[in-house]
Structure 1
């Protein structure tokens, strides 16, 4: 999934604890592999996420955008809490991702991560930036 650098920085720092989207992710999606857009142009982080929440279901605990989302003031209809975040030891550049067939071009909405990526980057070998002691809802 594509994300702007400033939003990724806020997730990494913990000041943004939900990723908001106008569309629902399929219910079996539990991780997001974030492709950070220009000027970064790399997959650097992977998040374990909650199931999609709708306005009124997001805790307003100071996370950037939470209160606006609950008040219906965002163009987003779904919020996904970031429960765990990994930082890849070896980020994947856009050029590498295309070369190795991870995707054909930078993702516009989202794209499925091929099994080859999951095998090349086993998350149990990657550093965890944070892990909230909360089960997936």
Structure 2
């Protein structure tokens, strides 16, 4: 699947500081790889990362399991999951940064997905 991710978080994923990607909704399919679309101002597909595990639980439980390598602050996490009963965390593995960033059209996608799109 291809995920739209803020450039700051993309950088932290690529350099290994962020080992979890958080979402409010779990994808319906089991995925083994996330293709990373870096949002504005980059607006390019910059790499991909292996998905090792998908954690779905309460926000408190997910934070407890992921905090050390979350790549985000507790405050950011709490604001993102405010009033949510479930949180989703994709545990990230091996990262592959593309030598040349690609356009969405290279994947047959004409617009940046709000959250994710299956490819």
TM-score of the aligned structures, taking structure 2 as reference length: 0.74
More off after superposition, 56-65 vs 38-47 = 56-65
Whether contact under 8 Å (2:20, 2:66) holds in the other structure is no
Count of paired positions: 106
Give the strand-richer structure, 1 or 2: 2
Give the helix-richer structure, 1 or 2: 2
What is the CA RMSD across the aligned residues, in angstroms?
Answer: 2.4
Provide Cα deviations, 1:12-57, integer angstroms capped at 9, x if missing partner.
1222110000000234211110110111110011011133213425
TM-score of the aligned structures, taking structure 1 as reference length: 0.66
| Structure possessing the higher radius of gyration over alpha carbons | 1
Equivalent residue, structure 2, for 1:90: 100
Compare relative contact order (CA 8 Å, sep 6+) and give the higher one, 1 or 2.
Answer: 2
The whole-number CA distance in structure 2 between the counterparts of 1:63 and 1:101 is 28
Provide Cα deviations, 1:40-91, integer angstroms capped at 9, x if missing partner.
110011011133213425243343238x39xx82417100111111011232
Q: Unmatched 5+ residue regions in structure 2?
A: none
Equivalent residue, structure 1, for 2:114: 108
The whole-number CA distance in structure 2 between the counterparts of 1:108 and 1:24 is 14
